Structure 1
Amino acid sequence: MGRTRTYEWDDPAATAAAAARVSGIEFLRELQARRLPGAPLSATLDFSLDEVEPGRAVFSLTPGEEHYNPIGSVHGGVYATLLDSAAGCAVHSTLPQGVAYTSLDLTVKFLRRITVDTGTVRAIGRVVNSGRRTALAEATLVDANDRLLAHATSSCMLFPVPPSRI
């Protein structure tokens, strides 16, 4: 009667350690090329980093029933996760070695419903402004026809990685 899904992930400590040793763009390119294991959350939701360049990151997800809320469409938390990942990684792609970030906020506007019939969706993040201590990014969630499904803005705090982690 029920449905099941299994998945695996790698130890996130190794990936986190690698992030401190290289620039943000180098780190993300290693993730994209699968030379580093992805985040456990990407395995949980089954989404991937498809494109990365300085100031821009693109993730994709093909929605399945496992992403649904109780009323039969993709849960808003899945939208938010994709948008937060795209915006945050766009910021990360601009950081030099020894600098990290964390999201300070995420504001999401849900514009359209997503179901399995929507097909693959893409979250496209880009840096709007970057300073010494904070960065502002935005992300859009679109379908295969580039129809806007959701929009988000994110403020990120930038900080030096403690020397013990480099």
Structure 2
Amino acid sequence: MGRTRTYEWEDPAVTASGVGLASGLDSLREIQAGRIPRAPIGATLGISLDEVDEGRVVFSLIPGEEHYNPIGSVHGGVYATLLDSAAGCAVHSTLPLGMGYTSIDLAVKFLKPIKVDTGRVRAIGTVVSRGRQTALAEARLVDARDRLLAHATSSCMLFPLPAASVGEASRGK
């Protein structure tokens, strides 16, 4: 007997069209409040954006069988997605209007398995260092008792968004 899972997401172009039109912190708070659509990967995996502060974000997930690998635990790619999201969005939360970022790398250490009975897990991302062109962030994946399940570091490149892109987005193109 097979299992099924159904979910919905909104047009990712809506969110992408607003990139750079507000500070990173304001953009993330709008997503958290539901006024801007979240990224489709959040719907696909069931990730929630729970907390947003400057230099710190928290995502959570309730693990399900749909996250499992062939050996009966949550796939490492799910860990990495949570950690990458937390680290990257922590950096994003520090950016002023008109600035963008992209991940340069992600180094993940898997420490404990996650299964359905683990319960809700949280990925806590914080900025370690931020300069004009790069930022370093870390993310910790913990269970409800704050036991460390995985850890990651991520380097991000920071860059000004092209004025044309910001202007087109503001005109709805």
The TM-score bracket by the shorter chain reads: over 0.9
Match of 2:2 in 1: 2
Look up the equivalent residue of 1:164 and give its one-letter code: A
Look up the equivalent residue of 1:2 and give its one-letter code: G
1:120-153 deviation per Cα after TM superposition (whole angstroms, max 9, x unaligned) = 0000000000001000000000000000000000
Match of 1:51 in 2: 51
Match of 1:41 in 2: 41
Q: TM-score, normalised by structure 2?
A: 0.95
Q: 2:107 aligned with 1:107, yes or no? A: yes
Look up the equivalent residue of 2:127 and give its one-letter code: V
Match of 1:24 in 2: 24
What is the distance in 2 between the residues matched to 1:139 and 1:57? 9
Kindly tell me the number of residue pairs found equivalent between the two proteins.
166
SS of structure 2 residue aligned to 1:125:
strand
Runs of 4+ in 1 over 3 A off after TM superposition: none
What is the distance in 1 between the residues matched to 2:158 and 2:119? 35
Q: 2:69 aligned with 1:66, yes or no? A: no
Q: TM-score, normalised by structure 1?
A: 0.99
What is the distance in 2 between the residues matched to 1:134 and 1:148? 27
1:93-132 equivalent positions in 2, closer than 5 A: 93-132=93-132
1:69-126 deviation per Cα after TM superposition (whole angstroms, max 9, x unaligned) = 0000000000000000000000000000000000000000000000000000000000
| Structure 2 unpaired stretches of 5+ | 167-173
What is the distance in 1 between the residues matched to 2:142 and 2:64? 16
SS of structure 2 residue aligned to 1:84:
helix
| Structure 1 unpaired stretches of 5+ | none
What's the C-alpha RMSD, in Å, of the aligned pairs?
Answer: 0.5
What is the distance in 2 between the residues matched to 1:164 and 1:75? 40
Match of 1:142 in 2: 142
Look up the equivalent residue of 1:144 and give its one-letter code: A
SS of structure 2 residue aligned to 1:30:
helix
